[in-house]
Amino acid sequence: GAVVSQHPSRVICKSGTSVKIECRSLDFQATTMFWYRQFPKKSLMLMATSNEGSKATYEQGVEKDKFLINHASLTLSTLTVTSAHPEDSSFYICSAPRGDSYEKLFFGSGTQLSVL
Amino acid sequence: SQQGEEDPQALSIQEGENATMNCSYKTSINNLQWYRQNSGRGLVHLILIRSNEREKHSGRLRVTLDTSKKSSSLLITASRAADTASYFCATASGTYKYIFGTGTRLKVLA
């Protein structure tokens, strides 16, 4: 099956620093990737849709200047949490649909971000 | 906005028993999917059911869909301790954006 690799799996940073999270599709090309945020014992909240070669589409209420998304190639999307604060601490997950139908999502293993 | 609501929020059963979890949604959909998440991990796709289907099976999984009631159920038969995880439904309606339900945390006791 398709594999999506997400790195790092866990990061601890100081308040005010920026953190970059990478999401790679290993055996398929992904023109679109999705970034989610998940709080403990809660569902996934879609933050933004990353589009290869164009600007990301952000969901309502998500600060685009806070969560920078870059999708520079067909296999890599990055999410940068800029000037992180403790309230940004969360579990971030990426996913990518394979094929034209977008019917099945393949997920990365997630990144646990802790901002001190 | 969060579309799917799942119940129960948490379920604890003995190994060998069946586990049933339900998902309700609000708008019309193209398909509905169920995903599984182990603690602190990403999600794994389990099964997809299209809007014109009523029931689907995959191994020990049985999914039903009632579009008139805007609801779906996931049945896991003969549960195992390894089935312990959170289960989410996800719906897509017209676009490729999937909205995830609130999830059911299943615990299977050995």
Of A32, A43, A106, which to mutate for an interface test with B (greatest number of B Cβ within 10 Å)? A43
Closest alpha carbon within chain A to B95: A102
Band the pLDDT of A65: cuts 50, 70, 90: very high
Please give the distance of CA A38 from its chain centroid, rounded to a whole number.
11
CB hemisphere CA count around B57 (13 angstroms): 3
Q: Please state the rounded mean pLDDT for residues A57-79.
A: 94
Distance CA B100, CA A93 (A): 13
Distance CA B11, CA A4 (A): 30
Band the pLDDT of A91: cuts 50, 70, 90: very high
Please give the order of strands across the beta sheet that includes A67-73.
A4-7, A19-25, A76-81, A67-73
Band the pLDDT of B40: cuts 50, 70, 90: confident
Query: Hey, is the C-beta of A108 within 8 angstroms of any chain B C-beta?
Result: yes
Distance CA B3, CA A106 (A): 20
Closest Cβ opposite residue A110 in set B33, B41, B99: B41
Q: Tell me how crowded residue A29 is: count the other CB atoms within 10 A of its CB.
A: 11
Q: Where are the beta strands (DSSP E) in chain A?
A: 4-7, 10-13, 19-25, 32-38, 44-51, 57-58, 67-73, 76-81, 90-97, 105-107, 111-115
B108-B48-B20 Cα angle (round to 5): 30
Residues in chain A: 116
Distance CA B41, CA A10 (A): 11
* Cross-chain Cβ contact B45/A104 below 8 Å: yes
* Phi, psi for B82 (deg, rounded to 5): -70, -10
Q: Tell me how crowded residue B26 is: count the other CB atoms within 10 A of its CB.
A: 14
Tens-digit pLDDT profile for residues B52-78: 999 999 999 999 999 999 999 999 999
Of the two residues A101 and B20, the one the predictor is more confident about is B20
DSSP state of A109: -
Closest alpha carbon within chain B to A92: B42
